[in-house]
Structure 1
Amino acid sequence: MASKETVLERLNAGKLLIGDGGYITEMERRGYVKAGLWTPEVTVEHPETVECLHKEFARAGSDVLQALTFNGNDKLKMTTAQLDEVNESACRIVKKVATEYGCFWAGGVSSTKIYANGGSKEEVQQCFRAQAEIFERHDADFLIVEYFRVCEEAEWAVETLKKIGKPVMASLCVGPDGDHNGTSIEECAVRLIKAGADVIGVNCLFDPHESLKAVAKMKESVETAGLKTHFMYQPLGFHCPDAHKKFGYVLLPEFPFALEPRQLTRWDVHKLARSAYNMGVRYIGGCCGFKAYHIRAISEEFEMERDKRASNSEKHDPFARKLFSTDAGRVRDKDYWMRMNPASGRPYCPSYSIPFQN
C-alpha cells in the first residue's frame, strides 16, 4: 500500500493497531496441524487454508497479519530445508493477503529447543538469524518476538532481529509473577527495552485478566525507570483464572481438546480490549483460542476512535435494539450484552478444575 504509515508512526500518533488471532490452535481445530507439536507445515501442505484464515482476520478488522511461522525454527522437528520452505511459504501467503487488504504484516520468531536444551547464545541467535533473513528478504513491515517464557532468550531474539533494521515487538508468555527463571515482570520489561524492543507486552498461557495485570506491571516499571515504549496485549481466548501460576493453561485437565466451555464471548473481548486501551495499550490482538469474531469485537469496540469499520461487520449488527420477532418487550442493546453474564450451558461442569501440579 503506497505511502502507508509505518507501525511506529501509527503508534507514536496514539493510534490503535489491531493484531490478529490464534492461527495455530485454529488450524489444529480445522485438522491441519497436530496438537502438541504445533508445527506450521500447513503453510506448505495447505497454503490455501492459511490464506483463507488470513483473509478472515483481515476482514474482521486486523491491521496486522502475522506470518504463520510459530515453531518455524524447531530443527528437532524439521530439517533446515523444510523449515526454510515453511517460512518462505508463510511469508508469500501473508504478504499477498496483506497487500490485498492494506494491512501491515510481520514475521515472528518463537522460543527454541536449542535454548531449552542449554545451547549457547551464538547457537540460539544463529537460529533466529536464519528466520530473520527470510523475513528481511520478503520485506516484512516489522518483526515479532513472541511466546518466550524466559526473558533472556527473548532479549537474544530482540538483539538479533534489531539488526534487520525493522521495528521489533517483544511479547512474553508470562504472568504477573514474571518469567520461568524467576525474573520479575518489572525487570523483564526494562530489559526488553534496553535490548532494543520498540513495543513490549504479553501473549497467551494465562487468563486474559492475569495478562492484563502483567502488562500493567510492565507499564508501571517502565515509567518508574524513566523509559518510553509502546505496549501490546494479545491474550488467550479462554477463561482460566485457575491456571497453573507458572505454566499456565497447558496444565489444565481440559488442555488441549476440551477447552470450548472456557471460550471468551465477543463481549468479554469488548471489555478486555477497552480495559487495555484505557491503560494506554495501543497494540491489541489475540493468541490461542482467538477467532475472527473476537478480532471483529475489538474493531467494533473502537469504531469511533478508528473512524473505520471491519468488512465483515456489514453482516453483524450486535447493537440492534430488536434482533428477532421473539424480542417483543425485551431490548437487547449494547448495555444488555455488556452486562450479560452467560451461563456455561453445561450443567455438569465444575466451576473450576484443578491444574496438574509439579
Structure 2
Amino acid sequence: MGKPNILERLAAGEVIIGDGSYAVTLEKRGYVKAGSWTPEAAPEHPGAVEQLAIEFSRAGADVTQTFSFWCHEKSLPKGCKYSCDEINQVSCDIAKKIAKKYGTITAGGLSQTGNFARWTAKEDVQKDLRRAVNILVKNDIDLIICEYFRNIKEMEWAIEVALETGKPVAATMCMGPTGDEEGVTVGECAIRMAKAGAQLVGVNCLFDPPMLLEVIKDMKTSLDLFNLKPYLMVQPLGFMCPDGGSYGWVNLPEFPFACEPRQITRWEARKFAREAYDMGVRYIGGCCGFEPYHIRAICEELRDIRGRKIPESSDKSDYDLSTHKELESKFERYKNKGSEQWWKDMAPSTGRPMSTPFCRQTEPTCVHRAIFKK
C-alpha cells in the first residue's frame, strides 16, 4: 500500500499544515520581480526555490507546493526564455525532490487566468487552465489547489478542470468579507465551490489572518446550513492590512515595497492557527508574507493536537520559552519574556510615529470588526 493521500489523512483527523510564501519571499531574496510575480525563477535559479522549499519542510509543513503561481503564457514577462511547460516541469521536479526527502504532500497550484473578463467563453478559460494542469498530472502531483481566484464562476470552471485529473482538489478564493469581485457573497461562494466538487474549500492571500478567519466563519455557517461538509482550508496573507480595500494589501500605499512593518509576528501566527483549528479548519497554512518561521510557529502551537510533534527547525526555537523563563529569573530586562500569554497579548509596535492606519488614511472606509480582534 502507498502512503495515505491527503483526504485519507484528513478523514483520520489529522491537521494538515501548508507551506508559505514563494513569490514574495523570493522577490525579497532577489529572484522574482515585483509586479510580474511570475515563477521563472524555478528554471533560472532552481537552487533558490529548492532552498525555500527545504526551509518550509524543516519548519514542519506537510505540503510542498509547486512554484507555478501565475504561470500563464500571456502573463510571463517580456524576454522570458522559458515556456510555462518548462517552468512548471522544473517546479514539479523540485517539489517531488523535497517530497521524497521530507515525506511531504506535493501540491500543484492552478491560479486564475487573469483573462476572465475578456474571455467570455468557458472553453477559452478552461483551455488555458487545462494546459497548466496537464504538467501537474504528468508528474503525478498529489493535490491540485485552485487558488487565487477572484470570480466564483471562473473558480467553478477551474474546479471542473481539476477534477478531471482524478486528484484531490482544493479551492481557495482570494476575497474578503464582501465576497468575490462581482459581489457574490462569501457564503454563496463556499456553497458553489463545494457543490462544484472541491473536497477542500476556503480562502487564500490578499487579506490578513483576522480578516480571513471572519471569512471562514461565514463560509462555515453557510456550508452547515446546506449540510455541505468539505474540509476547510485557510492560507492568509502574512501582513496586517486592516485598511486594505476590496483587493486587500494590493490597495495599500506600501504595496509592494514597504510592507515589512506590517508583517505578522510568530505569536500572531500561533494565535491564528489556534483560532483556525478551534473553528474547524483542518488545512492551515500561509500565503504571501508567511515565512518559514511562521509555519514553524503554527506547528509549535498545534503540537498538542498533532501528537506534540515539533518541526526539525524547532531545535533552534525557544517554542516553550524555557530559555527565556530562565533568563527572566536572572535579568530584569527579560521580565515577562518567559510568558507565552504575554507574547500573545502583545500589540507589537513598528517603532514609527503615526504608523497606524487609523490616523493616516487618505480615504477612510468602514472598519470591519475583525480589525479589533486581539
Interval of TM-score (by shorter of Structure 1 and Structure 2): over 0.9
What are the equivalent positions in structure 2 for 1:1-358 lying under 5 Å apart?
A: 3-77=2-76, 82-244=83-245, 246-307=246-307, 308-318=309-319, 319-320=321-322, 321-323=325-327, 326-327=331-332, 330-331=335-336, 332-352=338-358, 353-354=360-361
The whole-number CA distance in structure 1 between the counterparts of 2:95 and 2:5 is: 17
Deviation per CA, 1:258-302: give whole Å up to 9, x if none. 001111000001101100100000000000111000000000001
SS across alignment from 1:144: strand
Q: TM-score, normalised by structure 2?
A: 0.91
Deviates more, 1:72-81 or 1:257-266: 72-81
Secondary structure of 1:322's counterpart equals helix
| Structure 1 residue ranges without an equivalent (≥5) | none
SS of corresponding position for 1:287: coil
Name which of structure 1's ranges 49-58 and 225-234 shifts more when overlaid on structure 2.
225-234
**Distance apart, 1:328 and its partner CA:** 7.0
* SS of corresponding position for 2:74: coil
CA offset at residue 334 of structure 1?
A: 1.6
SS in 2 for 1:132: helix
| Distance of 2:62 and 2:213 partners within structure 1 | 21
Shift of 1:166: 0.4
Q: CA deviation at 1:74?
A: 4.0
TM-score, normalised relative to structure 1: 0.95
CA, structure 1 residues 316+38, in 2 after alignment: closer, same or farther (shift >3 Å)?
same
Identity of aligned residues (%): 48
What is the CA-CA distance between 1:176 and the residue it aligns to?
1.4
> For 1:355 and 1:198, how far apart are their aligned partners in 2?
42
SS, match of residue 113 in structure 1? coil
Cα distance in 2 for residues equivalent to 1:71 and 1:97: 22
Given residue 346 of structure 2, which amino acid in structure 1 is its aligned partner?
Answer: M
Deviation at 1:356, TM superposition (A): 6.8
1:114–1:123 contact (8 Å) kept in structure 2: no
Structure 2 gap ranges (5+): 365-374
1:231·1:282 contact (CA, 8 Å) conserved in 2?
yes
How many residues are paired up? 356
d(CA) in 2 for partners of 1:329, 1:146: 43
What CA deviation, in whole Å up to 9, does each residue of 1:166-189 have, x standing for no partner? 000000000111100111111111
Give the whole-Å Cα distance in 1 for the aligned partners of 2:335 and 2:229: 48
8 Å contact 1:207–1:243 — kept in the other structure?
A: no
Once the two structures are superposed, what CA deviation does each residue of 1:64-104 show, in whole Å capped at 9, x if it has no partner?
11000001124242689611100001000111011100100
Secondary structure of the structure 1 residue equivalent to 2:233: strand
Maintained 8 Å contact 1:239/1:262: yes
CA RMSD of aligned residues (A): 2.0
Q: Deviations over 1:109-152 (max 9, x none)?
A: 10112313234111111111111111111111110000001111
